Structure 1
Amino acid sequence: MASGSNRILDEFAKLMTDAAGTAQSVRQEFETAFRSQAERVLNTMDVVKREEFEAVRDMAIKARDENERLLKRIEALEGKLASSTTATGTTATGTTDKIG
């Protein structure tokens, strides 16, 4: 009787192993089908990939920093121009101011 129940348990264990293998292959097949379908949907929606987004974001950050640097430079040049025109008594158009 012991050998009979051992054989039943062995068969049951084999059946469970086969079922687990089948379930895993079904899961992998489902994941593959889901990924391909999701990729197809995203392609039709014209969604940007993460790498492309990060590259454009980095470019925008650099451009903003450059704009801030240039703005400071313009303000400094305008300050120099304003101080030099008041010191010489000329306006920005190059004419001399007449005081009273």
Structure 2
Amino acid sequence: MSTGPNRILDEFAKLMTDAAGAAQGVRREIETAFNAQAERWLNSLDIVKREEFEAVREMAVKARDENDALRARVEALEARLSSEGK
């Protein structure tokens, strides 16, 4: 068993270690509470998530490409009809 100054230093080191562990626990609790509150706040703003935005964006790009292809077909058919009608 330690005696004198060594025991005091051991006790002080143990106290500091315990305090550091407690501080980390408090930090984790604060981060969790903050993240939960931030998520509730963002959800109340009716903001879409990035994954949802990207999915809709991909659908819009695909629809635009299909629209361009259909427009080209219609123009080709109209040109064909007008040349056959002459």
- Name the TM-score class by shorter chain: 0.7 to 0.9
Structure 2 stretches lacking a partner, 5+ long:
none
What is the correspondence of 1:51-90 to structure 2 with a 5 Å cutoff?
A: 51-86=51-86
Aligned equivalents of 1:63, 1:69: Cα separation in 2: 10
Structure 1 stretches lacking a partner, 5+ long:
87-100
Partner of 1:19: 19
Aligned equivalents of 1:46, 1:32: Cα separation in 2: 22
Structure with max Cα Rg: 1
- Could you tell me which amino acid in structure 2 is paired with residue 45 of structure 1? L
Aligned equivalents of 2:73, 2:8: Cα separation in 1: 87
Partner of 2:8: 8
Residue 4 of structure 1: CA displacement?
Answer: 2.4
In the comparison of the two structures, how many residue pairs are matched? 85
Partner of 1:49: 49
Aligned equivalents of 1:4, 1:83: Cα separation in 2: 109
**Higher fraction of helix:** 2
How many percent of aligned residue pairs carry the same amino acid?
A: 69
Residue 9 of structure 1: CA displacement?
Answer: 2.1
Aligned equivalents of 1:6, 1:83: Cα separation in 2: 104
- Could you tell me which amino acid in structure 1 is paired with residue 71 of structure 2? L
> How far does the alpha carbon of each residue in 1:17-40 deviate from its partner, in whole angstroms, 9 at most, with x for none?
111111111111101110111111
Aligned equivalents of 2:45, 2:79: Cα separation in 1: 50
Using CA pairs under 8 Å that are at least 6 residues apart, name the structure with larger relative contact order, 1 or 2.
1
What is the correspondence of 1:19-38 to structure 2 with a 5 Å cutoff?
A: 19-38=19-38
Aligned equivalents of 1:49, 1:78: Cα separation in 2: 43
The alignment's C-alpha RMSD in Å is 1.5
Aligned equivalents of 2:65, 2:8: Cα separation in 1: 74
- Could you tell me which amino acid in structure 1 is paired with residue 14 of structure 2? K
